[in-house]
Structure formats: structure tokens, C-alpha cells
Structure 1
Amino acid sequence: MQAMTYDRFGGPEVLSATRQPLPKVGPGEVLVRVRCAAVNPVDWKIMAGGLEPLMDTVFPVVPGWDVAGVVERVGIDVPEFSVGDEVMAYARKDYVHGGTFAEFVTVPVRCLARRPSSLGWEQAAGLPLAGLTAYQTLTRLGTREGETVLIHNAAGGVGSLGVQIARALGARVIGTASPANHDRLRELGAEPVAYGDGLTDRVRELAPKGVDVVADFVGGVLDATLGVLADGGRHASIADNTVTESGGQWMWVRPSGSDLTALAELADAGKLTVRVAETFPLTRLADAFELSRSGHVHGKIVVTP
């Protein structure tokens, strides 16, 4: 099969288009023919060696964890799926090796969900990692109907999905973003506030008694979080592990087919959409990574074999 691989840590320059053996399909796995795979910042951070202290790496590596495609083959003990099923997954495995930027990828059943009919292939590929990060953060914080939620970086890839999920849970949402993105947040159902000096005061103007839940999807905002949190409020961050020192949770997204199915149901109910910024062919994965690294993209970057 055709795949993009790297055999040493580094930047986009270490990527090469190669031919790789078709992956073996183990018990509890399916082989997915990739229709689309989405780029996440973690992909190029791993390629640079950023997760080497946490996860074993087996070279050559096919990067990528987000995928949408069609089941090509099922392994032993997989009654849940059949050949031809249209699926999506956050396909993280226990070590770094066989990822989604290829024509085929094996995916553990625990990661899989059926593609929602309301999302195209590109949107479905862009949903899993970012959507699960937002969903698991908000649900682990016990977000409930009638509560007020503050989302830091609400216009980002995770944040924009978090706004929609929090609204679907029945919460009022205040979202931080640059003024250029405020109209977008209003479209998603959030009340926008600008970053920078005076953030705490601006949030307090909207929520004088404080907010019940804070989801930090950017980092570096702990003082603002604590300054607006109501008594008994809960907070979590995906980017700042020091939040645990002030009673918060440090989040690391977990593959979950059941959580992804819940997101698919929100999408089919018209409560969740995924914005796609740009699509690249597989052989231009280095360009897709460079765009992601620039930080100047609004929406998901998708790659198609």
C-alpha cells in the first residue's frame, strides 16, 4: 500500500512517500480502507519526538490518528462490524507505528464508530480526536443543563466543537477568542469575549456570579480561570498540567467508540458540525503539516489517499 512514513524524528522534511506491507488484522481489529485522514498538531509533535518519553516508537512510522473510511476486512471476534461498513475512529494504538496517513490502517474495535450520515468523509475524519477531547473534557466535568461554561480558545479546532457540545448538553457558553472570530462563535451559540488584559472582568460582566465550568483548550490561562470560577465550580485543561494543583483536571483524550458514537448522534441530530479548512492529497502531507504548524488555520486539515 502507499503510505507516508518517517524513519527518524524531525520536521516535515523527514516524511517520505513509500510502499508498505498491508497491515495484519489482529483479533478485535478491522482493516479500514482510508477515505480521509485528518491532521492534528499531535501528529507533527510526535514526529518531532514529543511523545518519546510516553510511548514506544517502531520505525518506520506511518503518522496519523484520525480516520474515516470503509471496513475492508474484519479480524477474529469482531461481531460489531462487517465488510463495507462506513466508519470513523480516533485510531490511537499502544505504540507509535501504523497510523492513518496511508491507503489502509488497522483499527481496534474499541476505537470505532459508524460514520454519521450527516457528515461527509472529510468532516467525519476531522471529528474524532478533537471531538472526543471536547466531549470527554465537558462530560468528565459533569456539565449539566442550565450551567454556564467558559471555553478558552473557543474558536479553535477543539474549542469550536466544545461550544457545540456544551450547548447540546443544555449549557450557556461563554467563549474566548480574538474579535475576528466573534461572529463565528455567535453562529455556534456562544457569547464571545476577547482575549488579553481584562478578560476576567469581561467574563464577570456576563456572569457576575461566576461560571460553573471552565474548559481550557489553549493553556496559560489558569489565573483567568480561577478568577471567574464560581464557588463549587469545576475546571480542566488539555494544555496545562498545573491545574491539578488548584483542584482542576488535566485531560488526555482516550479512544472510545461509544463516546464517538455519541458525537455521531449529535451530528445526525443537527447539533454538531465540523468545519474543514483545506484538503491535501496524501503525497502533500508535509505541506499539510506545515499549515498546521503555522497556527493560522480555522477548521480541520484533511488528507486523502
Structure 2
Amino acid sequence: MRAVQFHRFGTPDVLEVVDLPDPHPGPGEVRIAVRAAGINASDWKKRRGEMDEGLPQTLGYEAAGVVDELGAGVTDAAIGDRVFGFSAGGCAQAELAVLSEYAHIPPSLGFAEAATVPTSAETAARALDQLGVGDGATVLITGASGNIGGAAVQLAVARGARVIGAGSPATHDQLRAMGSEPVTYGDGMIDRARALAPDGVDLALDIAGNGVLPGLIELTGSPDKVVTVADFAGAAATGVRFSRGDTGRALYALGAVADLVAAKRYVLPAVHSFPLSHIADAHRAGESGSLRGKLVVAPD
């Protein structure tokens, strides 16, 4: 199969599309013919040598496609099913991928849109679980208009929470469409949030990672009521919990988002698709921040 790989760290020019042996699913896994795979910031961090040290490396942890091989014991999927999920082996940006966790794609959703869901949904659901966001809670979410932020807003709303979503003025219509009350990010945000919720903000989730943790602690009254997915150093300095997947993953989020999409209660980000052969261009676009929404790559 053809897959994205790099043999040295560096610029997007180090990325290659190479031939690798076809993978096969283990017990409880499925293999898909990939129709789209998500691209995340971790991909260019890996490519630059900021994460894993070994070489060569492949890329991609989320994908959508059609099941073409079943692992032993699989009873909830069949050959030909449309599914999306996680590739534990990190080789989803390829023609074939093995998914260790997966859910069926709702009929209304295309492959490219489905490939945008797994990482953002799991990260958001995990952080909301760690915060204890539930019915009746008032929660402030920073970075609410991004991919993870949008997932967090909508999953929190689905739980019955009142959500205040922080973002730039240009994103406020988007934040309202997702069910949140928008507040402008930046200087004075804490006061603006208090004005929206004079009875208090119970919890806060930081997805922006822009040094706002002290203000969120002030707003909620305790570092125990704040979680960040983006500010590791700030979490260590303030006592706020940093949410990470190696302490338990919210894999149920795949099915939860699928159900919300089917019920027309979930708005997905804009999708920008690149052919597999143009993976370097996708990295350049992602690193530059020139495109708002989610990047995916599709075999060509």
C-alpha cells in the first residue's frame, strides 16, 4: 500500500509517499480502505522531531473508510461498512489502515467530514469528563471555535450544560450555532464572562493555551475546577489539571458524536482535503494557519 512516511526530521519536503506492506487487523480490529485521514498539529510536530525520536515514521491516527478485512472476534462491523475511528499504529495517512476503535458513519456524513471527528471528539469528551461537566453546570470554554473547542462546546451542550464559548468576534455566529453564548477572547474576558453569568461560572476548559489559566482559576474559584488540554507549563505552575490521553481515553465519544450528527445536533468544522501525493502542501497549510477548519488527506 502507499503511505506517508519520513526518514529524517525537517520541513514538509522530507515527507514521502512510499510503498509499505499491507497491514492486517488483530483481534477486535478492522481494516479499512481509507477514504480520508485527519491531519493534526501533532503530525508536523512529529515531522520536526519534537515528539518521537525513532526513524522512519509514518503519520495519522484518525481515518474514515470502508471495512475490507475483519480481525478475530469482530461482530459489530461487516465487510463494506462505512466506519471512522483511531489507528493505534499511527499509519492512517495511507491507502489502508487498521482501526483499533471505530464507529459507524451516519448516512448523512461523508468520509472527509467523518475523518475530522475522532481526535477532536475524544480530546473534548475526556476533558469534559475530567471536569465533571454535566446537566445544569455553567462552563467557560476558551478556544471554542476551533476543532477541539467546537467538539467540547457541542458535547457539553448535549450534556445539559450552559456553555460560554470564548473566541474572536468573527466566530460569534459560529459559537451561537453550536449552542454556546459567545464572549470575546482577550483582555477583559473574565469580566465579560462574569457579566454573562452573574451567578458564577462553575467550571472552565482551556483549549486555547494562551496563558489564561490564572484568570480561569479566579473566575471559577479553584484550580480543581479548571482543565487545560493546551498549556502544560501553565498547568504545572498553577495546579490545574492537564488532560492527556495516557491517563484514560474517552473512546465512547465516537459513537456519541455519530448519534448527535444523525440527530442533526452537531456542526462539523469546514474541511480542506488534499491528495495523499500533496501531503507536503497540507503540512504547509496547517503550519501557516492559512486555513480555518480541519485538514484531511485522501488517497489519490
TM-score of the superposed pair, with normalisation by structure 2: 0.91
| 1:64 counterpart = 2:60 | yes
Give the conservation status (yes or no) of the 8 Å contact 1:91–1:255: no
Identical residues among aligned pairs (%): 40
| 1:263 counterpart = 2:257 | yes
- Distance of 1:173 and 1:283 partners within structure 2: 41
Summarize deviations over 1:59-79 as a string: whole Å, max 9, x none: 432211110011111122323
Aligned to 1:26: 26
Q: Letter of the 2:241 partner, please give it.
A: Q
Summarize deviations over 1:98-129 as a string: whole Å, max 9, x none: 51111001122xx2111122321111000000
1:203-214 equivalence runs, <5 A: 203-214=193-204
1:143-222 equivalence runs, <5 A: 143-219=133-209, 220-222=211-213
Q: 1:107 aligns with which of 99, 113, 130?
A: 99
Q: 1:301 aligns with which of 269, 291, 295?
A: 295
Q: Letter of the 1:154 partner, please give it.
A: A
Summarize deviations over 1:72-98 as a string: whole Å, max 9, x none: 1112232332221211112234xxxx5
**CA drift at 1:143:** 0.9
Summarize deviations over 1:194-240 as a string: whole Å, max 9, x none: 22211111111111233111111121211221121146972110112
Give the conservation status (yes or no) of the 8 Å contact 1:279–1:301: yes
Summarize deviations over 1:278-304 as a string: whole Å, max 9, x none: 111111111111111122432111211
TM-score of the superposed pair, with normalisation by structure 1: 0.90
| 1:91 counterpart = 2:83 | no
Give the conservation status (yes or no) of the 8 Å contact 2:153–2:163: yes
Aligned to 1:126: 116
1:207-286 equivalence runs, <5 A: 207-219=197-209, 220-230=211-221, 234-241=225-232, 242-243=234-235, 246-253=238-245, 257-286=251-280
SS at match of 2:25: coil
- Distance of 2:240 and 2:223 partners within structure 1: 11
Aligned to 1:44: 44
**CA drift at 1:173:** 1.1
**CA drift at 1:247:** 4.8
4+ residue segments displaced more than 6 Å = none
Aligned to 2:78: 82
Q: Letter of the 1:100 partner, please give it.
A: A
Give the conservation status (yes or no) of the 8 Å contact 2:24–2:69: no
Gaps of 5+ in 2: none
Gaps of 5+ in 1: none
- Distance of 1:203 and 1:131 partners within structure 2: 25
**CA drift at 1:140:** 2.5
- Distance of 1:287 and 1:231 partners within structure 2: 43
- Distance of 1:257 and 1:196 partners within structure 2: 33
| 1:3 counterpart = 2:3 | yes
- Cα 1:231/1:106, change in 2 over 3 Å: closer
Give the conservation status (yes or no) of the 8 Å contact 1:281–1:304: yes
User: How many residues are paired up?
Assistant: 295
